[in-house]
């Protein structure tokens, strides 16, 4: 659950905080959603209340609906973290997850990431 919490804190954070979590050469948006996806792979929905599960699902569905080639710039260009309104929605949905989980918003912990480069 710690990884999920940190992933949610990272998704809820400001663009500036998000960018500082990763090396300058990385595609920050892509890394953020990949980490969230990995957390979902390890999540036991049976451990959650219906409200918690619904808030996590809403965030996941939004990300899935905004994926694919037409949205690649949203994840691959770091400027999108600041400029793309979809990131505002992701942040709002992540804040709702934090609220439902009973987590106070806090600075995400900078992790040792495995960045995949071309």
Query: Per-residue pLDDT for the chain (118 aa), expressed as one digit of tens each?
Result: 789 999 999 999 999 999 999 998 899 999 999 999 999 998 999 999 999 999 999 999 999 999 999 999 999 999 999 999 999 999 999 999 999 999 999 989 886 655 554 4
* Residue-by-residue DSSP string for the chain: -HHHHHHHHHHHS-HHHHHHTS-TTS-HHHHHHHHHHHHHHT--GGGS-HHHHHHHHHHHHHHHHT-SGGGHHHHH-TTHHHH-HHHHHHHHHHHHHHHHHTPPP-PPPPP-------
* Domain ranges, ordered by start, for the chain: 2-101
Total-model pTM = 0.92
């Amino acid at each position: 659950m710690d990884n999920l919490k940190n992933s949610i804190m990272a998704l809820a954070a400001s663009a500036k905080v998000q960018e500082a979590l990763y090396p300058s050469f990385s595609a920050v948006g892509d890394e953020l959603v990949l980490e969230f996806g990995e957390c979902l792979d390890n999540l036991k929905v049976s451990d959650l209340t219906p409200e918690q599960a619904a808030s996590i699902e809403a965030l996941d569905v939004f990300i899935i609906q905004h994926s694919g080639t037409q949205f690649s710039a949203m994840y691959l260009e770091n400027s999108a973290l600041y400029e793309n309104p979809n990131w505002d929605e992701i942040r709002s949905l992540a804040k709702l997850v934090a609220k439902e989980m009973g987590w106070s918003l806090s600075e995400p912990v900078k992790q040792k990431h495995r960045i995949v480069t071309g």
